[in-house]
Amino acid sequence: MKELIPKDEYGIFADKSPTKMIAPKQWIYIIEKEQNRVKVGVSVMPEERIKVLERAGGFKILRKRLLGPFQNSYQVECEVHRRMRCEKIISEWFSIPFETAVVVAEEVAESRGDINSKQQSESPDMAELISCFCPQYTELFEFYEALNDADIAIYKDENGKIWFESEDFGMFTAEFLNAFMKINKTRLEEDK
């Protein structure tokens, strides 16, 4: 299976003026929880993101490291994940010493951070362009972020079928996820 939805380069949009570049605002964060479990992710607000991960995951962050800010953090993150793929547990979590993850991330950030982001003054604002073609862009992005927060990976098999994977439920289909969400929504409505 291959990953269906690669990380996008949100925030690498061209400025309208030919000389001014957009200020970088995305950070790479590396966090460690117990048993050498390390997560490498991207956030515009990394401190808040880390707090949300702690609360939602029910664990304590032992150490953290921030790199950036960058305009092309998703490219950097993708390369860090690629280099550590043999140690991958699920989604953005790896079974690797924290120090090793930091070294890999620093090497990638130094070699790739903002180098591959090309800004051209004639390029349109991609967020505006996407929202024209897909009015539900914000909802889709928020849904994708929710899946990411829940550490649910998305895959597409050789037949084109979409699969999800989580630590709690293993592999499951989009139909299962849809039915599960409907059941939980019904229960919430009944509880009111």
Tokens of 67: 């790199």
Q: Is residue 141 classed exposed, middle or buried when 0-12, 13-18 and 19+ CB atoms within 10 A define those classes?
A: middle
pLDDT of residue 8: 42
Q: Read off the pLDDT of residues 57-68 as tens digits, 9 standing for 90 and up.
A: 889 999 999 998
pLDDT of residue 128: 54
Give the CA distances from residue 13 to residues 24, 63, 126, 155, 162, in Å, rounded to whole numbers and listed in that order: 11, 32, 6, 27, 29
pLDDT of residue 66: 95
pLDDT of residue 133: 61
Give mean pLDDT, residues 83-110.
94
Tokens 């304590």 found at: 60
Contact (CB, 8 A) for 104 and 65: no
Rounded-to-integer distance, Cα 143 and Cα 7, Å: 14
Q: Which of 154, 158, 157, 159 is nearest to 174 (CA)?
A: 154
Max CA distance (Å), the chain? 57
Contact (CB, 8 A) for 96 and 36: yes
pTM listed for this prediction:
0.52
Q: Read off the pLDDT of residues 29-49 as tens digits, 9 standing for 90 and up.
A: 999 998 889 999 999 899 999
Q: Read off the pLDDT of residues 110-159 as tens digits, 9 standing for 90 and up.
A: 988 875 444 333 344 555 555 556 666 666 667 777 777 777 777 777 88
Give mean pLDDT, residues 7-27.
51
Question: What is the band of 7 on the pLDDT scale with cuts at 50, 70, 90?
Answer: very low
Please spell the DSSP secondary structure of 23-62, one letter per residue.
PP-EEEEEEEETTTEEEEEEESSHHHHHHHHHHHHT----
- More confident: 87 or 170: 87
Range 98-128 burial, b when 16+ CB lie within 10 A, else e: beebbebbbebbeebbbeebeeeeeeeeeee
Tokens 């790479």 found at: 28
